[in-house]
Amino acid sequence: MARLFITPREINFINDIAKEVVKDVIGQFIYLYTISETKTLVHDVYEEAVDKIFENPIKLDCLAEYQAEEISTTRFGSEEFYTIDIYVQSRDLIDKEIEILEGDFFQYGGIFFEIIKVPLSNVIYGQIEYNGYVTLTGKQSRKGLFLSQVLGPYDEGYSDPEAIQETFVQQRGFAENSEGETGDVRELQKRGVLDKPITGPAEVSPKDGGKAGSTFYGDT
C-alpha cells in the first residue's frame, strides 16, 4: 500500500486497534522470563553461560496458538511435548522497552516453554520500519531445566485460588487499572487525537461471591 494513503497516523490507528482487541477483548497473556544480562556470568571465550539467571516475570499481553502435541519415543518410554506460537505486538514491546531473545522462557497455563525462535512476523502495509507483531515459538521445557513458581490461571481441575481467572480488567490506554500499573500506551490518545474513555477500564468480575456468575460493566 502506497505511503500516500498509509501515513504514520494510520499506522498508529492500526496499532491502537490491535491493542484494543488483545488487551481489552481477548485477554490472553504469558509470563515472560528474560535472561538477566547483569546477573548472568558469560564465559569470556565461548560466550555462553553455564547457569542462567532470569529477571522477575513480566506479564505480557498476547495471542496464543497451540500446535499439535508431539510424542517422542525413547528406550525409557514416550515423552509428550507441546509447541506453541505466541503473537506479541511489536509496538507494545517498544512501549515497555522489552527485548525478547532466543533462550528466554515463558509460562502459558501451567507449562513453561523455552523460546526457540523470535522472528518479526509481518510488516505493516509494506513499510519496512513498522512491524505488526513478533512470533515467539516456544517448545515445552524439560523437567528441571527451568524451575519457577507456577502462576495462574492454569487448569480448572485444581482447587488453587489462582487455577481459574475470575476477573478480567481492560486497560484502554490507562497507565493504571484496578490491578495496578498496565504500561499500556495508545498512541492516538498520547498525541491528543482521541480522548481517554470517560468510563475508564471495564472489568468482568465475580458476582455475589461467584455464586451468581459474573458481572460486566457494572451490571446488577
CA–CA distance, 65 with 87 (Å, rounded to integer): 8
Please give the grid coordinates belonging to residue 155.
Answer: 487448569
| Cis status of the peptide bond prior to 197, with omega within 30 of 0 | no
On whether the CB atoms of residues 159 and 194 are closer than 8 A, the answer is no
Q: Would you state the pLDDT for residue 210?
A: 61
End-to-end CA distance of the chain: 47
Q: Would you state the pLDDT for residue 105?
A: 96
In a domain, 179, yes or no: no
Q: Which residues of the chain have pLDDT under 70?
A: 1, 38-50, 208-213, 215-220
Q: Would you state the pLDDT for residue 50?
A: 62
Reference 113, options 64, 156, 161, 186; nearest CA is 64
In a domain, 23, yes or no: no
In a domain, 192, yes or no: no
In DSSP notation, 118-170 reads --B--BGGG-TT-B-EEEEEEEEPPTTTS--PPPSP--TTS-STTSS---EE-
In a domain, 81, yes or no: yes
Task: Record the pTM.
Answer: 0.90
- Domain span at residue 68? 30-164
Written as one letter, the residue type at 45 is V
Written as one letter, the residue type at 167 is T
- DSSP designation for 171: -
CA–CA distance, 100 with 87 (Å, rounded to integer): 12
In a domain, 160, yes or no: yes
On whether the CB atoms of residues 15 and 88 are closer than 8 A, the answer is no
In a domain, 110, yes or no: yes
**Into how many domains does the chain fold?**
1
In DSSP notation, 172-198 reads TT-SEETTEE-----HHHHTTSSPPPT
Report the CATH number that the domain containing residue 91 is assigned in CATH: 2.40.10
In a domain, 97, yes or no: yes
The burial class, CB within 10 Å (0-12 / 13-18 / 19+), for 89 is buried
In a domain, 15, yes or no: no
